[in-house]
Structure 1
């Protein structure tokens, strides 16, 4: 499961405050004189009501008053709608003011194109105690082969109950041969709702010969839209002869442009055609030469 941009959450307001917010949200931020943190609170409440369009001007108004958390949240809204250039500006501004979530978000925004700088921001946020940053820093280090350093950061994140770090640490220790700890980590992360961990738990269970448990884990992740789990579930079903349901899961994954699923559908189509021709030969409808 890919990391998502973080939004800063303040203490939840009471119901009376919420109703006042609903009334105020119909007015423009410039028409309402209030401190920056109140404007940011209004933006947060609107985000929680899935109204990012109306939240943006409130975050922007608070950001213009030098509110670092509002800057970070504004950057998140912009990044989510792919306005990455302006999002980067706000993440950098908030990071300069010490906002740790903005540092993580900046790393996430930069990782695909500027991984070295992204890693620096992850490290800064990790050293300030942000579990998501510890996890992403450990993941990058593990991918680079720096296993000792990666394990240190992943274990630090696991210690504060970060499910993605549990999953990534499970992957790391499994490559080191500790399958027992890997299974415990995958199971803990899956129980916390991590889709990647559900899929990896299924793979671990299948490797251990626990096919029924593997199917449940793959199915749980597949039902939540995890594409690799759809393919893995399809493979398991295909192996036991349930080709119709296997094909259904391959098609679902293929709609998400998974090349492995598309290849498997092609294989199944070829198998079906071979079986059809063999049946025709067996019943004398065509000769083998034909």
Structure 2
């Protein structure tokens, strides 16, 4: 018996999910577009993920903007993130505000970062205070980091101590960053270790950077290599920057290139510095 259109679309969605799991997002997108056209219920979310994984930001906008405009605010946050990547900041802010207004508390983090980058730090902090009170773990940690960036160590310390909880590992990492600024290095060391044990998102790279500054490059490299092993966000730039700072330029270059390929502007600047050229020459 011939396969029904619905069954075919469902099979295509399964194929697309498998390609995503194999790290082949561009191929997955080709399959998932067919699945979406065939009406597979899971295809839309999978296709958005494929576009994100491949950095296809314009495709994300083309896919999601009509849906958000029609009132499907589930996708407003991801639309906003894609617009940020395209440097369409005014539209990105509007989309992220829609997401936050619809009750998507985690979207406050992306909106706060956008506001911070535009120099609107007071607005960003206020937004994160509300999100942290609503129980968002990342907002509490980001609040501390923004206050540190603003040079307000007392406020950062107060927030870090208020929200620190082992049930929210990112807050332990934020407290470690505060302890460094306070000069309480032994406390910071213990907190970085604990954040890593609890699975905080960037614990290994943060601890590696702390150890490097503390004058223990061997221990720092172990942390950076562990960050690589577990594919911690930002690991490639962190390791590449460390190796470059240690004078190991040939080793640093491929890691910086990985980060550049992922769209890391800091890595592009670091690679240009290695080559003695301006970043816009790449």
What TM-score bracket applies, with the shorter chain setting the length? 0.5 to 0.7
Deviation at 1:109, TM superposition (A): 1.2
Q: Deviations over 1:170-192 (max 9, x none)?
A: 12112323222211222244553
- Match of 2:71? 66
3-state DSSP of counterpart to 2:236: coil
Name the residue aligned to 1:203.
Answer: 212
CA distance in 2, matches of 1:42, 1:150: 42
Residues in 2 aligned to 1:107 and 1:142: alpha-carbon distance in whole angstroms: 15
Count how many residue pairs are aligned between Structure 1 and Structure 2. Answer: 230
Kindly indicate whether residue 219 of structure 2 is the aligned counterpart of residue 213 of structure 1. yes
144, 150, 168: which one pairs with 1:161? 168
Q: Deviations over 1:65-88 (max 9, x none)?
A: 323221122112222232222211
- What is the DSSP-based 3-state SS (H/G/I as helix, E as strand, rest coil) of the residue aligned with 2:106? helix
1:102 aligned to 107, 115, 119, which one? 107
Alpha-carbon separation, structure 1, partners of 2:182 and 2:192: 15
Task: For 1:232 and 1:19, locate their aligned partners in 2 and report how far apart those are by CA, in whole Å.
Answer: 40
Q: Which residue of 2 aligns with 1:226?
A: 237
Whose relative contact order is higher, 1 or 2, with alpha carbons under 8 Å and at least 6 apart?
A: 1
1:83 pairs with 2:113 = no
Q: For the structure 1 residues 85 and 98, does the alpha-carbon distance in structure 2 shift closer, same or farther, using more than 3 Å as the test?
A: same
Q: What's the counterpart of residue 279 of structure 1?
A: none
CA distance in 1, matches of 2:16, 2:226: 38
Report the TM-score, using the length of structure 1 for normalisation.
0.61
Partner residue in 1 for 2:147: 141
Which whole-Å CA distance do the structure 1 matches of 2:222 and 2:103 have between them? 44
Matches of 1:203 and 1:20, distance apart in 2: 44
- Uncovered stretches (5+) of structure 1, i.e. residues with no partner: 1-14, 239-245, 266-290
Q: Structure 1 residues 145-154 or 84-93, which shifts more?
A: 145-154
Maintained 8 Å contact 1:122/1:137: yes
- Measure, in 1, the Cα distance between the counterparts of 2:75 and 2:245: 46
Deviation at 1:55, TM superposition (A): 5.0
What runs of 5+ residues in structure 2 fail to find an aligned partner?
A: 1-9, 18-30, 230-234, 257-265, 277-282
- Superposed CA RMSD in Å reads 4.1
Cα distance in 1 between the residues matched to 2:164 and 2:79: 26
In structure 2, the partner of 1:248 is: 250
Q: TM-score, normalised by structure 2?
A: 0.63
